[in-house]
Amino acid sequence: MNQFFCIMGKSASGKDTIYEALKKDINLQPYIPYTTRPIRTGEKQGETYHFVTKEQMEEWEKEGKVIEIRKYNTVEGIWMYATIEDEQWKLGKDMLTIGTLESYEKMLSYFEKSGMWNIVPIYIEVPEEERVRRALVREKAQKNPKIEEMKRRLEADNQDFTEEKIAQLGITKEVRFQNLDLNICINRIKQYIQEKRMGEKLWGDLEETKER
């Protein structure tokens, strides 16, 4: 069974930086999600996200190609983030993406029926005070800083990423990684991914032997 590793965490937890590092150093196919939000400074079309129009996203919804979608009411209007049933799923490789608790939950439900993918959570966290500091530094580096929107995201995350929700989704201590030292955090996640992939391979070989 192919494995789909889902990097999650509150905004400014460092998940994007970790995701980029893992893409470069681990042989995993990155799944590029879709969003209607404006592109930020330093982001590239088709790498961080596929940046698309609201109309395009709504068309995919009508066609039944949306695996999961999240809609956020921001100070600039409604922003949508989605996982789309596209060519990326047909490559037959283990994949890596960035998501949220909501997207993770919806993908679990979607793929539970097919049995084709094992959805594996990787949760990134930092102390709240440090997260706020990082968010402010990042926003001030933008061409047009939007401090109010930054504050909204921070508060929304505290409501979306509650300990109760984390526990309900089975996200255990094993898959929670503190990002206080970036390099240490990345190396621990690499080791975890390698162990999961090796374990899945050994299980697959065992099942194949049984069938023989």
Just give the CATH number of 2-31+93-211. 3.40.50.300
The pLDDT value given to residue 171: 95
Q: Which residue ranges make up each domain of the chain? A: 2-31+93-211
Q: Position 157: which residue type? A: D
Q: Which of the residues in the chain have pLDDT under 70?
A: 113-115, 200-212
Q: Give the burial string for 115-139 (b: 16+ CB within 10 Å, else e).
A: eebebbbbbbbbeeeebeebbbebb
Cβ 162 vs Cβ 168: under 8 Å: no
pTM: 0.80
Give the phi and the psi of residue 24 in degrees, each rounded to 5: -80, -35
The pLDDT value given to residue 200: 65
The residues pairing with 7 across neighbouring beta strands, listed in sequence order, are 98, 122
| Chain segment 59-108, per-residue pLDDT in tens | 999 999 999 999 988 888 999 999 999 999 888 889 999 888 988 998 88
The pLDDT value given to residue 201: 60
The residues pairing with 121 across neighbouring beta strands, listed in sequence order, are 6
The pLDDT value given to residue 114: 67
Q: Where are the alpha helices (DSSP H) in 26-146?
A: 54-63, 101-114, 128-140
The pLDDT value given to residue 202: 53
Say if strands 29-30 and 34-35 run parallel, antiparallel, or are unpaired.
Answer: unpaired
Structure tokens at 181: 């030292």
